[in-house]
Every structure is written in C-alpha cells, then in structure tokens.
Amino acid sequence: MSIPTQSPATPAAALQFRDSAGCVRWLATLPVTNPQLSQHMLSEQVVALSAVQLAPLERLKILEAMRERVIYAQTELAKRYGGKPLPLDQGDADTWRDVVNLWWILGQNYRQCLDASRNVDPAVAPHAALLTLRCLRATACEMFEHFLIYREPEAAAWRTFHELFRYAEEQGLSRVRVQDVFAKRDPDATCTDAYVQGLLVHLANPHALSARQMTFLWRWLEKWAALVNLSSQPLPKGQIPALAVDFAGEAVPALASAITHSASTRHLELEQLSKTLLHTMAQLKQGQPPAQLGLGEEARQPSCEHLILLLYLQWCRAGTLRKEERSATPDPVDVSFGIADVHKLLGWVDKAANTQELNARDKWELDNLGFSMRLSNTARQAAIKKSESWQILDQSASGFMYMLRDPGGVLRMTHNQLLGVRRTDSPRLGTVQWIRINSHNETTCGVRLFPGTPQPVKVRPVTPNDIKGQEYEAAFMTPAVAMPAVAATLILPAGWFQSGRLLELQGNDKRTAKLVRLIERGADYDRCAIE
C-alpha cells in the first residue's frame, strides 16, 4: 500500500466545468449524504483537472472552491478505516487508497499552480505563499492517513514535504500569514505552521495512539503548531531535549544529537508549547471543561488530560525517540490475539469435554498436576490455526517486548488488544502498545507484558440464583507479585468488571474470587484486581 504515482480514478472522466463559477454549480450536485460517492466524484474531477490546460489562476480558484468539500469527504471516509484491526479488509484498504490518492492528486494540482508562480506568472505569483501552504497541507494529510493505519509514510512524501518548506524559506514565505482571499476568511496559517504540524505528528509517536487520539492530535496541532519556532542554529541546553530535522533529503525529525548539523538543519523551539501543555493540564486538573479550553466539544476527561500528558512526554521529554534495538538472535514464539484464542494457545484443557477420552496417566496428571501433558499438547495443536509465528527482537527488564511479525501473518490486531506469547521458557500475557508497518510491509509491535505467569481458567458469575445454567467464559488469573507490588488479577472479557462482583473460577480447582478494582480496560479485556 505505497503512495501511488498517479491516481487510479478513471482517467477517461471528463471535466464537468471550465471555470470556478462552473465548479461551484457542479459542487451543488454532489450527494452530501453519501461521502463515498461524493469523494469518488471529486477524485474523478481532480484527476481530470490535472490533465487539462487552464490558466493557473483559474485552476487555483477551482481548487479553492473544491477544498472544503474534499476535506469533508476525506474526513468522513477516514472514519471507516481509522482504528480498524490490521490488516484492513479489502473494502477498507481500497477506501484508504482512495483517500491517499485524492490528497496526492490534489497536491499535484496545487503544485502545477506553484510551478506557474515560480515562473512569475503575473496572475498567480501573488498567491505563492497560499500555494506553498496548500501543497504542504496536502502532503501532511497524505502522511497522516498513513499514520491512521500505523504505516510509515513513504520516503518520497517526506522528501516532497521538506522540499516545499525549503522553497518557502528560500522565497521568504515561511512566516507569511496567508490571507485566504478566495474564501474571504481570517488569516489561515503560515507555511512554518503547516510544516511544524507534520513534524509534531511524527514526533508524537502516532503508532502508539488510537484513531480517536490521532484525530484530536491533528485538530489541536492546527493551533499549537504556531507556538513552535524553527531555528537554524542549535539551541542552548535546557530541560527540554533538543529535537531537529534536516530538510535536505527524506529524513524524519529526531533528537538533535542524532543529526549532523548543517545549513539544512532546523531545531524545534518548544519552550512555549511546553508551557501551554503544562498550563492546559493544570486547568483540566482544576475541573475546567475541555471544550472551554478549545480542545473540542467531543473531548472528555480524564482521557483528554491523559493524551496531553502523553504528547508532553513525547515532545518535551523525548519520550520514546530511542530506536528499538534488535536482538542478534531473535527468539521465535507463537502468538495469538484475544482471550479465547490465547486461552487455547496457552494450554487450557476442558476436563469435562475430555472425560470420555482420559487414560490412566491423563487422570493422574489432571488430579495431581492440574493439567494433562497429552491433552495440553492436543489443545495447543488445535490453537495453531489461530496463532502465528513471530520473533522477539528485544525484551526489557521492565516487561516490554519488541516483536517482529511473520511476513505471512493474517491475524487481525489492534491497539490495547490482549496478546498471548507461547515460548519455550514460559507463557506470557500482554497488551499491544504500538504497531508499525514500514515501507517493506514489515510489521513490528511493542507489547507491554502483564506481571506474573498466567494461568488459564474459566469463570462465571456467582448469583443468588442457581448458576448451573450459566456458561463458563475463558479468562486468565495471574498471581500477586511482590516486586513491584501487584495484586492477584483476573483478565476477563471486556465489560465484565463490576466492583464487588463474585465469580466462580474453574482451573486446577474451583474457587470464588471477588472483583475489587479495575486496573485497566483494553480493547477486548478487563484486567481486575481480585480477592
């Protein structure tokens, strides 16, 4: 799913208008309630527009007339694949390509106008700052769509992004606040704002953010980007780690210490942004509603404050810019997702279902050890169909695992999903923290491991009524851990937690557990402290 070199929209589509007035009339015919059809019609016309000869100023007027409708249609379609489990199904993957293609061809049209302004076309030259801004924004949107499905943007997109900003600086346009003369609105932004917005999205570690978090990030950066300045000189040492970017090639922004300073290096001045983030968090702690702080009507606490803290750590404390290390000898493991499949992978044996096929050794092992080696192996073999072979590339002492997916993997995964790892030494449970797909379609992910060795169990609620008719559900129990102090926990299906709820557990023996506290809620599980 790389960035296309041309739009796949039907090239034979005829342009339905020849000037901006005709474009406005055509836009009125778009089906507002059908974003997919609207986006398809817009794509066809933008492709057709790129192929016809028009006066550069008229092309610009047409693009500006179409821009809001394009943004609306693209935003609506992005909701169809943003946050979906990966790999995307074919329909969502096609929708994603359509959205990326439209951003790309829209940018191509604006670049045609920008080329004309470079050649000093007297009609369009006064709009050079607007054109450069629009080109930067289209490229930034194209890259953002990649982040929404946890793919790294193509190197060509970064190269284009950097080249556009370098042009803005060379022409003295980078700090010009653009007047949106065609829509007759207030000043929009500067080219520096658009460039910084793209840099900060990457520096926010979007591979670890949910689709909802990324949507808020994009909106907030439209105003926060103006708080960041770019310096051509290294910044004095301070509490904020120095971040920089080299726009001479296709490199991504990184710690300044990892970049050789040159004339094309720009250093991010983050002091004002840091103060704003800290002030915003303080106001949220005091009970100020997010909407009153300009964070959006849909923003809710405490998730809003949590996201701002994450962004502060990433931008102003360089949270996870350390490159993941790869082990010289990767450790092969079997991996499954979701409670039911992990339950089988880690060797759950349903005693009731196997009573007719127990031999004497099976019975002895079940009675004395709590499991049967033969039946455990049978259950594991049955789970292989819903597991994949991965490689552990690195594992930290703090319980973080860096893993590489098998190239042929097809199991779908998402953020904060339960993940089980079966290896030679011990089984482990964890949750997916981040997902990254590079330009070679290589998928890596970071897994935060839960403390303790998981024991597969089955659970059902204890109610005042007879519970014989209720079905047991797959779950896991982990023992209390002394260092660091972690209570005994149950990992249950999502939505099961109720404070004080009693559950009957079926494992090596039968017992009752009381749910005391919700430790965390994942995409498909509740992790609860128990008594």
pLDDT score of 50: 93
**pTM score, two decimals?**
0.86
Give CA separation, 209 vs 194, 314, 417, in Å.
21, 12, 13
Last residue of a domain, one of 188, 219, 247: 188
Backbone angles phi, psi at 326, to 5 degrees: -105, 135
Instruction: Count the neighbouring beta carbons within 10 Å of the beta carbon of residue 347.
Output: 20
pLDDT score of 527: 94
pLDDT tens across the length of the chain (531 residues): 333 434 444 455 799 999 999 999 999 999 989 999 999 999 999 999 999 999 999 999 999 999 999 999 999 999 999 989 999 999 999 999 999 999 999 999 999 999 999 888 889 999 999 999 999 999 999 999 999 999 999 999 999 999 999 999 999 999 999 876 665 555 678 999 999 999 999 999 999 999 999 999 999 999 999 999 999 999 998 888 899 999 998 999 999 988 999 999 999 999 999 999 999 999 999 999 999 999 999 999 999 999 999 999 999 987 665 555 556 668 888 899 999 889 888 876 554 444 445 566 665 655 555 555 555 555 444 444 578 889 998 888 778 889 999 888 888 999 999 999 988 767 889 999 999 999 888 999 999 999 888 989 999 898 765 555 578 889 999 888 776 677 889 999 999 999 999 998 887 778 889 999 999 999 999 999 998
Q: Is residue 512 part of a domain?
A: yes
463: exposed, middle or buried (Cβ count in 10 Å: 0-12, 13-18, 19+) = exposed
Which residue's structure tokens are 């011990």? 426
DSSP string over 432-445: EEEEEE-TT--EEE
* 94 in the same domain as 21: yes
* 174 in the same domain as 55: yes
- Cα angle 57, 61, 63 (rounded to 5 degrees) comes to 115
* 88 in the same domain as 168: yes
* 12 in the same domain as 159: yes
* 432 in the same domain as 418: yes
Which CATH number belongs to the domain containing residue 352 in this structure? 2.40.10
Residue-number span of the structural domain to which 518 is assigned: 455-530
Q: 24: Cβ–Cβ under 8 A, 6 or more apart, which residues?
A: 65
How many domains does the chain divide into? 4
Q: Is residue 431 part of a domain?
A: yes
Q: Is residue 311 part of a domain?
A: yes
Distance of alpha carbon 158 from alpha carbon 471, whole angstroms: 54
Which residue's structure tokens are 């498909």? 524
Give CA separation, 205 vs 296, 300, 323, in Å.
22, 21, 12
pLDDT score of 367: 56
Distance of alpha carbon 22 from alpha carbon 220, whole angstroms: 35
* 363 in the same domain as 261: no
Strands 265-269 and 331-337: unpaired
Q: Is residue 195 part of a domain?
A: no
Q: 497: Cβ–Cβ under 8 A, 6 or more apart, which residues?
A: 515, 518, 521, 526, 528
* 162 in the same domain as 67: yes
pLDDT score of 462: 86
* 265-269 sheet: strands from edge to edge: 229-231, 265-269, 243-246, 254-255
* 467 in the same domain as 400: no
* 219 in the same domain as 289: yes
* 208 in the same domain as 154: no
Last residue of a domain, one of 390, 415, 449: 449
Q: Is residue 258 part of a domain?
A: yes
* 270 in the same domain as 378: no
Q: Is residue 194 part of a domain?
A: no
- Cα angle 101, 104, 110 (rounded to 5 degrees) comes to 140
Q: Is residue 407 part of a domain?
A: yes
Last residue of a domain, one of 449, 474, 492: 449
Instruction: Count the neighbouring beta carbons within 10 Å of the beta carbon of residue 223.
Output: 13
List the one residue out of 2, 94, 111, 101 whose CA is nearest residue 47: 101
Q: Is residue 248 part of a domain?
A: yes
